[in-house]
Chain A
């Protein structure tokens, strides 16, 4: 997984211009697939396209060695602070598993 950094902003979303200095020369950095659960929700009422897998957790993962966080999905039970690892990327979603 990559994070994009400039002027102290570290994000998984790549911006066209840095919101602080305006440059388009934003640096990329490869980071670990590990992180911890910053917060989560278990979704019981999903949009139509996710009806078959509900309930599922949407997790906000604090990535390691960066201030960046990423939103992903994790099945089963989960708590804030749990250590997780990126399992795979599927249909544009980051799917995490507990370590």
Chain B
């Protein structure tokens, strides 16, 4: 129990914002969250971001938010944890409230990637691997790791490329109802299966896209109707060859176990889930690691439809990273944005009566995993 409450959320549309700057996206989401919270006095700001330095030549994001929103001379910081930057920023804010240092904190996340070409972005994202390693020198990439994992998963289970396609299709169908999602064009299993290959067996639709966007949250010790019941974060292996078991991402499993323990809840208590589906394969591993389905059987749950909005464990009703989009530093907070709407009964693909929600945000190839459990009071 963190005794930290969510007072307001904000989010820009995810997609291509070629006409807007990183700063304008960041301020837009922050302003929405502040106004939704009723413009409270903010004691600190944490900003989740991964690539602003390398791709927009822009740092000091915390100070920019405080200054341009007129929040005064308050403590601020940028938080980096690759694709988990947003989730880790939220956790830093929660810890600040729990410590007694702050009453109310603004947490924002932002990324702007669409202005760069694919090889440059691929290169920049590779900073989320251990670049001083023989793996990097072998030419392994981020999607490459999940390609290696997928081939082995197929080998050890009955899963095929079609199961990955089912994950991608589900998340696309969910995104069709989410006006803030990046992709709003319908697709089919055939189109997904026949798309060009990125890192075999993963094709274009198995990989989350490059996205511009921002999301923000106001949290406080003052009560509201949404309580952050648990916040957990752990680090895991930073190299593929170092994993004791390739088909396990221990950071996800351990962050989930810690969050359940703090919350006094288990996977059976969760009504709606946002998972870090940076790749279709990752969603299948994550639903196993978080205890929603048995190890090496997540693909069967996908096939049965258990993870669809009407299923017994609805996963990524927002469209997930695959179709909502993945502006890296904003992703973890956009999960919270969507889950708060689920708990308030105002989300696209609304899960009837949802009361307990779980968000899992992954960084690197399992280097970080942050889990937050929210409850409607």
Let me know if B177 is at the binding interface, CB within 8 A: no
- Is A13 a contact of B133 with CB atoms below 8 Å? yes
- Chain A residues with CB under 8 A of B120: 48
Give the contact-size bracket for chain A: 20 to 34
The interface-forming segment of B68-76, B88-96, B236-244, B254-262 is B236-244
Docked pose: A71 CA to B241 CA in angstroms:
6
Please name all residues of chain A whose beta carbon is closer than 8 Å to the beta carbon of B104 when the two chains form the complex: none
Known interface pairs A41-B148, A53-B139, A71-B134; A47-B241 also in contact (CB < 8 Å): no
Q: Which of B123, B139, B143, B241 contacts A93 (CB 8 A)?
A: B139
A6 at the interface (CB under 8 A from B): no
- Closest A residue to B139 by beta carbon equals A50
Report, as a range, how many residues of chain B touch the other chain: 35 or more
B119 engages A51 (CB within 8 Å): yes
What total of A-B pairs shows CB separation below 8 Å? 106
A38-B246 in contact (CB<8A): yes
Q: Are A73 and B139 in contact (CB under 8 A)?
A: yes
Contact B123 A48 (CB under 8 A): yes
B144 within 8 A of A: yes
Contacts of B202 in A (CB 8 A): 41
- Tell me the bound Cα distance from A80 to B202 in angstroms: 16
Contacts of B150 in A (CB 8 A): 41
Assembly CA distance A40 to B241 (angstroms)? 12
- Residues of A within 8 Å of B240, CB to CB, are 60, 71
CB within 8 Å of B: which A78-99 residues:
80, 91-94
Residues of chain B touching chain A, judged by Cβ–Cβ distance below 8 Å, are 118-120, 122-123, 126, 133-135, 137-141, 143-144, 147-152, 155, 196-202, 239-242, 246
